[in-house]
Structure 1
Amino acid sequence: MSVDTIIQALNAVRQQKPLVVNITNYVVMNNSANALLAIGASPIMAHSKQEMAEMLSFAGALVINIGTLDSVWIPRMLFAVEQANRHGKPVILDPVGCGASTLRTETSRQIARLAEKLIIRGNASEIIALAGEQAQTKGVDALDSSEAALGAARFLVAEYAANVMISGATDYIVSQNRTVALTNGDKMMPHVTGMGCTLTALTGAFAAVGDDTGLAAAAILGVAGEIAAENASGPGSLQVALLDTLYQIDEAQIVARLQLEIH
């Protein structure tokens, strides 16, 4: 995917305003919904099994984020994935805290096995744990570098026919044929809760218009984070500035700032 196709994907989201169904955690619902609105998509935070079949018949994508996982949510998540499969919709899985507990690890793998059009977005430790390797985890925080998760990501691509996004100081987008490295962003971004969850939600918007890699979402959030950080004095103002930047970001800013390497 070139810079031109990233910009085309952004224009498609703004023109089509795809509906993105989010089964996400209580901590980030507001952040994720606002980020989707700012980029031009239409979010719905739907958790009821009773409406999921109907929602996914006309939605563009399904985002599943296991951040506040419990036994009530798991059957809903699995049912939602089944409905996404039925209607040929992409599923974006955020395996928050995978490796921190058996419940999180096994649930993440169950969802990954079930989803037919899958994108996985996680930090390095989550990706390593999902692949079954030894990972260093501290709750939902990554203690591994994103580079350390490349082998695990390639395993997941093969195992689940998925595309995998590793978030970190360098973001990696791993697919069957190539790996793309992105070095945009700002060191303040990890100090805002749910920044990775925001990327997962945005990935749903771009998947809904045809980007099944996650690259457009990662590229645009990275560039937007850089711009926002220049206008912020700390994590609180960064969060507000990021929403404004996602709303305003344009082709010239992306072309001027994007740092992308294909491996």
Structure 2
Amino acid sequence: MYDIRPLEEEWKKYRKKKQRPWYLGIIIFLVLLFLIFFFSSSSKINFNSLSAYFYTLKSSVSFKEVKSENVQHTKSNIVVNGPLMRIEVDKQVIDKSESVEDAPANILVDIPILDGKDEGRSSRSGKARKKIHLDIIKTTNITAYKDVENRFKRSHDTDDSLFLARSYYKKGNYKKSEYWALETNKVNPNIEESMLIFVKSKMKLGRKNEARNILTAYMKKSNSHEAKKLLYSIENGKF
């Protein structure tokens, strides 16, 4: 009888050798599956973390944009509300100015009034004073004229004295307009308006001969066209 055991051993070796590539292929396949699963799972984690990061960043940017919009809105409110407050103040001032009852006709005059700061600065350094326009009501603001008179006594500013002469003449107070025209002429004899107001005030006070003589002497000295016109109107009874 033949011994079968060696043949079986040989056949097993042959079978193992023949099946070895299959085993290797299965192992490689399993390894590949494991690697694919591992990388796919790790990539999912990375994508999730990245999406979470971008979501946080987007939320932060959105918050900053909303905050900046709120700041801009607040600033715009401040810019808008500022002028409205000033308009309300101006409206109150207008309402107060319109509350004067049955005031006489207004006279628009050029009155040189100093505010407190400019007056103090003027007394210390002798700088030029600021002039402003005031709408003076005919029968009131007597203290305003007194203030100008007192200021002229201190400064001898012909703007003040000429203003008083002009204003009193318009108001019909010819005695005072004559006085302040003369005071202006004493400080500066080259101001023609003061001389003309002085002559016209004398005419209104009834001293026509005196006014004519003064005007004639002034006209010969200055050859003034305005003086000639005034003298012509006086001599022809048109004044």
TM-score normalised by length of structure 1: 0.26
- The structure whose RCO (Cα within 8 Å, separation 6+) is larger is 1
Higher helix share: 2
TM-score normalised by length of structure 2: 0.28
User: Of the two, which has the highest radius of gyration?
Assistant: 2
